[in-house]
Structure 1
């Protein structure tokens, strides 16, 4: 196996395989019928669909298009979302569980139909999806899932085998699913949106909504867009609307390594249901057959050293397939709702013209497309058969109430632990390229030392609700374990719900000089 390279900035395979168009930021006030915030699969698909309906649409992206969760997906296009249908039957009944399946199956068919009709070159392949168990405990759960498939009429096959060397007790296949190159597909939709008159602005952060005397999106730079409808398709809703979404969702990170395997891979998409989860699917990169190996999920800010998660995936890949070469590694952040069904629709009952789509729990290709189809119908006055199930205003006492209390007990524990934590070392102990929580002038601080020895100091108190952020060594970011906000080494917001950056701490001149002693040395004679 080749020696592994150093991965300072993890980058997904998709963004290295295509050049994404770039757009200017919004620099003036403007108007539109609908403003969509968020340039991932939901935002771009919704913008495309509404433009086809003749609407004047503006699409805003805080950073670069397709550089968030959509750009970091494994891009399985499937209605098989782990162990979900047995649980949905218990909480939503047969009608609700069928609506969930049909909404995601419709999304799969929409993607296929769009690709075929427009001859989009996006490496779309149709293969079965499979979830499998390796322990007695999860085999019983898989048996329940199989029975749920039977009740719901989902085409499937129940066996005890997968086509690679791993411990398997039972395997449940959902027939005729797909995977693709998400950025090639969405680049086509984006081009069509522009042709239909759509407008796109990158590096434009939406921060608030005004509704007096008219509905407006307010940007960080102070520009405003007057509109009839607002759709938040950002990862975390940029505007809460008193829906308390920060208390009704939690964030998880997961990891992917892309390898060129030594062994042939028979195809298909696989996901173990035991812990730790392992995901496997084939892709292509520069003429090579590549495997995407995913898993190692944990709540944001709660994982061990994040490099550990990449190493664990590499070990699984090496033992199971062999590694000719490791090509890429990256991670993604996903939001989970209390009952595991995404929030799609009006943000609250009393805000009729503001909509959200969020909480896809790692299945954004179908869930994001299903959301776009539902949002198109709702914004054009059409009846959608799945809108009630996904309504953000719903509340299922079981499991929502239990999850609400457990999630917020977790938040409370992190608040207390972070304030009580004792920190014993200083920035001087950091090596170049390392970060960590330190003690600086008798206060808790976050420090990162770059390759030139420059030290960046930030206050570790999250600007959302005051939890203490933790260092993420794999992505070089500061992550909040309470609600999933993430910040750069300089404290800038990378992911919400936080809107304000971490406070920068000025390093005293003598301390900074100690990091660059060569600056104080006399010039050679």
Structure 2
């Protein structure tokens, strides 16, 4: 086994660390109004606000935390329509016409990003790359052959090859999707943020939207008691904070995946790669802050709050990087959260009422491919708000009918939720807060009740209630990222109980904070 360079002590995203710094935006501290309220400061929300502000609409964007610090800041940043092995499944599930539309929507998004980069001369390392799905497993060769047949049916420019250019990885077969792309997503979106403000848009950070009062002029209510009255609301907050009786928490599940930014002495041949089989392995190149080559190696997906000790996922990637790429140094480690729908298609568009069309829109469920689908979502929602036709509206509609197979998948997901709800309540916890070492977290017993405790490196102890404020499941300690994660619907909380990921809107109560 190759020598393993140490992991960074704390998780840090390469994209965030290599950004020169976004301007800081204040909280919303007054009632206001606009044509459109956009909720969420990731790629979907920022692109939606950019498109609408550019058309002369007044736009207000609300972000609960800091712009670009959510999933968009923790991506692998591949701009591609090659979303693992999906097209054969889509043809069988939805038909060839809808599978073709899915490809075209993502290709449209790629072209939009490229046009926008060229228009504004954005220095974001945009680079056209071929994308490969590869396998070293005999069991997956047939699946690749079927996927290639699906590509040919749709007319996707591609080739079936018996090996990949990245020769440090053994491969028995692969599909190459031609002329895809990669970039630095935050440098790209930093430019769009500037364009929004120059067009008269307003952005607010630290402003959590908690409810919408429906009507001809809907009103967004914030946690601080302020209101944004508008004509349209675009919910691009990863997990929709407003359900509209769509029961989205029951129609998706949350997954976490992991990434390392490593220095390696291999001669990288170009291209973006993902393995067909599990555990997933995703590879692409980037450039470190000192100008040297960097590899971004990702994988290790699992349902949020479930599975093995989370630091083990980083360690699995650490071992893979050392064995396959002769890793010299690991500069970054980070993880991301993604939402997966029952039919693997995002929910994008109007939340429709029983008797009318709504002026409230959502974009969610990107299944780890948010650079293209998040951009496509912004293009679709922008068109719908401006009452323009969009040929992808029906494909991604949140109110679309679901197949029997999809409904079965959702039943399995919700049975899993019920199992974790019950097991969390029955768990016997024997550890006490005083048992914890520095930089250790765990479920503990406090005054006869389950609680969550973390002792930081300086010895300060934080104790929170572990009952998730969404639907009452018991959160679990994530030692890889030092967070409290809900195994039912994927809500995540900081060591002091603050909400980091929805659908929860309220923090975990902080029971104690001791030096």
The two structures have a TM-score, normalised by structure 1, of 0.95
Match of 1:209 among 208, 212, 219: 212
| Distance (Å, rounded) in 2 between the aligned partners of 1:136 and 1:213 | 58
| Distance (Å, rounded) in 1 between the aligned partners of 2:220 and 2:242 | 10
Deviation at 1:332? 0.3
Does residue 375 of structure 2 align to residue 338 of structure 1? Answer: no
Deviation at 1:491? 1.0
- Counterpart residue number, 1:189: 192
Match of 1:119 among 112, 117, 121: 121
Does residue 182 of structure 2 align to residue 171 of structure 1? Answer: no
1:65-214 equivalences under 5 Å are 65-162=67-164, 163-211=166-214, 214=217
Contact 1:91 1:398 in 2 (8 A): no
- Counterpart residue number, 1:17: 18
Would the alpha carbon gap of residues 313 and 196 (structure 1) be closer, same or farther in structure 2, given more than 3 Å must change? same
- Counterpart residue number, 1:292: 296
Deviation at 1:117? 2.4
Query: How many pairs were matched up?
Result: 508
Bigger Cα displacement from structure 2, 286-295 vs 302-311: 302-311
SS of residue in 1 equivalent to 2:123: coil
Contact 1:91 1:396 in 2 (8 A): no
Contact 1:427 1:438 in 2 (8 A): yes
- Counterpart residue number, 1:446: 452
| Distance (Å, rounded) in 1 between the aligned partners of 2:463 and 2:17 | 32
Contact 1:155 1:174 in 2 (8 A): yes
Alpha-carbon deviations, 1:188-211, whole Å to 9, x = none?
111111111111011111000113
| Distance (Å, rounded) in 2 between the aligned partners of 1:96 and 1:294 | 29
Deviation at 1:442? 1.5
Q: Which stretches of structure 1, 4 residues or longer, exceed 6 Å deviation after superposition?
A: none
RMSD across aligned positions (CA): 1.3
Deviation at 1:262? 1.8
Contact 1:164 1:320 in 2 (8 A): no
SS of residue in 2 equivalent to 1:456: strand
Would the alpha carbon gap of residues 439 and 202 (structure 1) be closer, same or farther in structure 2, given more than 3 Å must change? same
Alpha-carbon deviations, 1:176-233, whole Å to 9, x = none?
0000000111111111111111110111110001136841000000000110000000
Alpha-carbon deviations, 1:496-516, whole Å to 9, x = none?
101111122247xxxx6xxx6
- Counterpart residue number, 2:463: 457
- Counterpart residue number, 1:474: 480
Would the alpha carbon gap of residues 266 and 213 (structure 1) be closer, same or farther in structure 2, given more than 3 Å must change? closer
| Distance (Å, rounded) in 2 between the aligned partners of 1:146 and 1:398 | 26
SS of residue in 2 equivalent to 1:227: strand
| Distance (Å, rounded) in 1 between the aligned partners of 2:238 and 2:160 | 35
Contact 1:261 1:290 in 2 (8 A): yes
Deviation at 1:3? 4.8
SS of residue in 2 equivalent to 1:55: coil
Does residue 278 of structure 2 align to residue 275 of structure 1? Answer: yes
Consecutive unaligned residues of structure 2, counting only runs of 5 or more, are: none
| Distance (Å, rounded) in 2 between the aligned partners of 1:6 and 1:283 | 18
- Counterpart residue number, 1:523: none
Contact 1:80 1:129 in 2 (8 A): yes
| Distance (Å, rounded) in 2 between the aligned partners of 1:133 and 1:120 | 35
Alpha-carbon deviations, 1:161-180, whole Å to 9, x = none?
11222232210000000000
- Counterpart residue number, 1:519: none
Alpha-carbon deviations, 1:253-293, whole Å to 9, x = none?
00000001121111100000111000000001220110000
1:479-494 equivalences under 5 Å are 479-494=485-500
Alpha-carbon deviations, 1:466-502, whole Å to 9, x = none?
1111000011110001000001111111111011111
Deviation at 1:432? 0.4
Deviation at 1:2? 8.0
| Distance (Å, rounded) in 1 between the aligned partners of 2:161 and 2:481 | 39
- Counterpart residue number, 1:422: 428
Does residue 387 of structure 2 align to residue 381 of structure 1? Answer: yes
Bigger Cα displacement from structure 2, 142-151 vs 289-298: 142-151
Would the alpha carbon gap of residues 223 and 328 (structure 1) be closer, same or farther in structure 2, given more than 3 Å must change? same
1:10-49 equivalences under 5 Å are 10-18=11-19, 19-49=21-51
Deviation at 1:343? 0.3
Contact 2:7 2:318 in 1 (8 A): no
| Distance (Å, rounded) in 1 between the aligned partners of 2:294 and 2:55 | 39
The two structures have a TM-score, normalised by structure 2, of 0.97
- Counterpart residue number, 2:308: 304
Contact 2:5 2:328 in 1 (8 A): no
- Counterpart residue number, 1:51: 53
- Counterpart residue number, 2:370: 364
Alpha-carbon deviations, 1:305-359, whole Å to 9, x = none?
1111111101111111111111100000000011000000012344610000000
| Distance (Å, rounded) in 1 between the aligned partners of 2:298 and 2:216 | 49
